Structure formats: C-alpha cells, structure tokens
Homo-oligomer: A and B are copies of this chain.
C-alpha cells in the first residue's frame, strides 16, 4: 500500500525498525528501567542525538515497544487458540497457559505492559486496541462455553444492578450480546485473576507459597473456567 519511494524514505523506515529492534533487545535483557537511548545509539553506531530523528523521546520508543508487546502477546494467544482442541475448556486452558508462557518467556515485556506504568504516562490510543485483544479472546472462549439452550439445572445468577449493570450492559452490547451479564462479569474477574496470578508469580510474590507455580496456575485456570461456566470435560 504505502510504497517506499525514495532511498531516504527506505533508509528511514529501516532505521526506525532497527532502533526499535535494538531497543527491544535491551528491554528483554535489561528491563525497561535500564533501557537507554544512548546505549541503543551506541550499539547501532550512531550519535545519541540521531535517535531523536526517529523517536521524539524515550517514552515514545517505549510506547512502540508496548504496542509490540501487546501485539506479540495477543498473537501468541491467538496461535495457541488456533492449535487448541475444540472443547471450550481446553481452549480456555490453552489460552491461559499461552499467556503465562509468554509472560515467563518475556518477563520484561510483560512488566512493561502490565507492571508499574511510568508516573506521567498516559496510554495513547494506539495501545488500547492491541491491549484489548487478549480480554476479547477470553470473552470469545467464554462465549463458546455457553450452552446452546439455557441450562435449567444451574440457573443463571442474577444480573448485577446499579452502575455495574450499566457497564456490563454496554460491554455486552458491544462485544458479547449472547453472554449473560453475570457471566461477563465473571469473565472479567477471571481476567483480573489471570493477570494478577501471573504478575505475582513473575514478581516473586508466590515465592514463599507456590514456588513452582505451575500446579497452582493450572488449578486456578480450572477454577476460573468453572466460574465462567465452561462445561467440565467428560
């Protein structure tokens, strides 16, 4: 679509990519805190001031890395879903496991997007779309787990009222009209649980209790699948 016309534009595009790539390398090995524009420039053999022709500030570079991280995580999750079996519970398991696997493989990227934001940082519009992909995937699997006919043995819990009811109604209308609001709320709870648990594991808060956290993670995933009402496996 956007053909690169001049050699200058081509060089610019390539350098922009290379800077981000080297920055991502340093992010992966050193963490966002220690990522240094000057070190990136040094590694690329250019003056530190030249970086600013491509990224107006360190925060902008970090934002690009954030978008990439969200996208990479969501791609990983999508790939896991594509390779997963067809039962909703197995897909839920595959999704959650993929998220954890990505987090353990890319701890600094995970910390960058789900850890402490930089004090003055406001998430630009471009980050919210890739960031939303993962909760959307969770909701999608939750929808797959809905029975075709409303169950009669386990009555649906009452829909929350008040402000939460309005928020849920809005979300439901936008992305899951077939999901009861109570179930949507539970999916959101499972969402926060998943990332809370992964964050705890990654940041060492489970060190004294569930040190190899694999079993605890797997168990929690099942409990959350129960919570959102995914049918048990036969």
Give the B-binding residues of A (Cβ under 8 A): 30-34, 108, 111-112, 114-119, 123, 128, 131-132, 135, 160, 162-164, 167, 171, 185-186, 188-189, 192-197, 199-200, 203-205, 207-212, 214-216, 218-220, 223-224, 227
> Which of these, B185, B189, B219, contacts A193 with CB under 8 Å?
B189
In the complex, the chain B residue whose C-beta lies closest to that of A167 is B210
Q: Which residues of the other chain, B, contact A209 by a CB distance below 8 angstroms? A: 135, 167, 171, 188
Please indicate the chain B residues that have their CB under 8 angstroms from the CB of A119 in the complex: 30-31, 33-34, 108
Q: Taking each of A163, A192, A193, which has the highest tally of chain B beta carbons within 10 Å of its own beta carbon? A: A192
Check A212–B163 contact: CB distance below 8 A: yes
Instruction: Please name the 7 residue pairs, one residue from A and one from B, whose CB atoms are nearest each other, closest first.
Output: A196-B196, A115-B116, A164-B215, A193-B193, A31-B119, A192-B197, A192-B196
Q: Chain B's nearest CB lies how many Å from the CB of A131?
A: 7
Tell me the smallest distance from the CB of A208 to a CB of chain B, in Å: 6
Q: Which residue of B lies closest to A221 (CB)?
A: B189
How far is it, in angstroms, between the C-alpha of A34 and the C-alpha of B108 when the chains are bound?
20
Shortest beta-carbon distance, A3 to chain B, in Å? 35
- A195 near B200 with CB under 8 A, answer yes
| Residues in B neighbouring A171, C-beta threshold 8 A | 209
Closest to A214 in B: B163
Indicate if the CB atoms of A215 and B115 lie closer than 8 Å. no
With contacts A31-B119, A33-B118, A116-B111 taken as known, whether A128 is within 8 angstroms of B208 at the C-beta atoms is yes
Cα A220 to Cα B220 with chains together (Å): 16
Contact across chains for B200 and A167 when beta carbons are under 8 A apart: no
- Cβ B115 vs Cβ A189 within 8 A: no
A22 to chain B minimum Cβ distance, whole angstroms, is 18
